Amino acid sequence: MNIIDKRNSLASSRSTSYRRRAKSAIRNIAIHHSATTSGSAEAFARYHVNELGWPGIGYHYVVDQDGSISLCHDLEVVSYHVGNSNSFAVGICMVGDFRTQSLTVAQRQATLELTRSLMDQLSIPIDNVWGHIEFPGYSWKPCPSISMHSFRNWLREEGATFTDSPPPSPTYVAGARQRTILSRGDQGDDIRALQERLDELGFHPGRIDGIFGPQTADAVMRFQRTASISVDGIVGPETREALRDFESATEPIEHGSPTDEPDDREEMYRKETRRMLRLIQPMMRGTDVQEVQGKVGVATDGIFGPVTEASIREFQISEGITVDGIVGPQTWHALDRIQENGGGGYQRLLSVQTPYIRGEDVKRVQRALNIRVDGLYGPLTEQAIRNFQRREAITVDGIVGPQTWRRLFN
């Protein structure tokens, strides 16, 4: 392994520094791509420090396309790369945008070798080597955009040599013995092939276990949304075809985004202390579940089941945030805003704006008008308000101000 020690030469903040931890706190190795077609530890460090204001580069290691490895931090450094999981993860970033590029042989070998040596040194099992997207709260993040299932298989093949041709992709094509439609509850090799294909395309379906469960359905829906086909979580002919052809249809990505982390969610994830709530087996229970249920308006039994999940999705749609049915930092923040609104008093003027005003208050208005409740203040809502104002003999302007609000609710 060709490791270059850059711990003292990369850009770092003069005023802040990362926390440190004991090596024994490390439980995961996180694999990233840089989402840039080129780059270096030096460039990422400058970006993280100068543009994002971080104490130093986010990654512990950067692996270049030629297979050379930059050591950027001691393992004890708690740098930013996987939000809430930073304190127990080591970050390895491979330079490249694997949505459009492939790993080079040298890079793959160096990354595998590095990962294996870290696994040995820190006693980390293969199953704890995760892609960025596999960390809690990151199912929206297409990083590292390679199949982590394959990556972990490569790790198992100690000493294996690689050629430039990628491993044959799972036979995800129409075949004689294949079922035509795959949906929740199905099991078998065709489900496994489906999961592998989803994983390969970066739509992490959870465990590759040949069982079509909620996570697989979720991955199918995320895929369908991305592929712009009907979103039903079921794999029929249309979805099957889209899965087969997806790569060739991938749009070119604009180059030059300096890192895969340039968004403000990192900070939010870092500060969030509440646990992530999601639909799993056995179902999660607790007062936090109850609190969430109260806010999205479902029975507050304190058990995170399918109905709660569905309501969370609806809530996320109306808030315009990532729709995954999971209460992570972003959704917690959105839910917090409901509380601040103090149970639905008049808060703001509602009118048709571009983009449309959205929120719980709009929903309340729509419910009161007995029209479709989508939480968006669009032309139909405006028209219904005009009619209402006419009936109430108040100023007809299609705008919900304090007077109209009072008439609606008092």
User: Which two three-digit tokens encode residue 203?
Assistant: 């739509």
Contact 231, 324 (CB under 8 A): no
Please report how close the Cβ of residue 145 comes to Zn ion at its closest, in angstroms.
9
Cβ neighbours, 10 Å, residue 24:
9
Please tell me whether residue 152 binds Zn ion under the rule CB under 5 A.
Answer: no
Among 99, 108, 132, 358, binds Zn ion (CB under 5 A): 132
Q: 186: helix, coil or strand?
A: coil
Nearest to 42 by CA among 32, 30, 50, 31: 50
Please report how close the Cβ of residue 231 comes to Zn ion at its closest, in angstroms.
26
Please report how close the Cβ of residue 33 comes to Zn ion at its closest, in angstroms.
7
**Amino acid in position 327:** V
Complete DSSP assignment for 27-83:
-EEEEEE-SSSS--HHHHHHIIIIIT--SS-S-SEEE-TTS-EEE-S-TTEE-SSSG
Count residues near Zn ion (CB under 5 A).
4
Specify the residue, 130 or 304, whose C-beta has the smaller distance to Zn ion: 130
Please report how close the Cβ of residue 92 comes to Zn ion at its closest, in angstroms.
10
- Alpha-carbon distance of 362 to 347, in angstroms, equals 11
Piece in contact with Zn ion (CB under 5 A), picked from 9-17, 140-148, 190-198, 282-290: 140-148
Binding string, 247-276, against Zn ion, x = CB under 5 A? -------------x----------------
Residues 18-37 that bind Zn ion (CB under 5 A): 32
Specify the residue, 81 or 358, whose C-beta has the smaller distance to Zn ion: 81
Please report how close the Cβ of residue 34 comes to Zn ion at its closest, in angstroms.
8
Piece in contact with Zn ion (CB under 5 A), picked from 138-146, 215-223, 336-344, 384-392: 138-146
**Which value, to the nearest 10 degrees, does the dihedral of the CA atoms of residues 262, 268, 273, 276 take?**
-70
Please tell me whether residue 143 binds Zn ion under the rule CB under 5 A.
Answer: yes
Applying CB under 5 A, the residues found at the interface with Zn ion are 32, 132, 143, 260
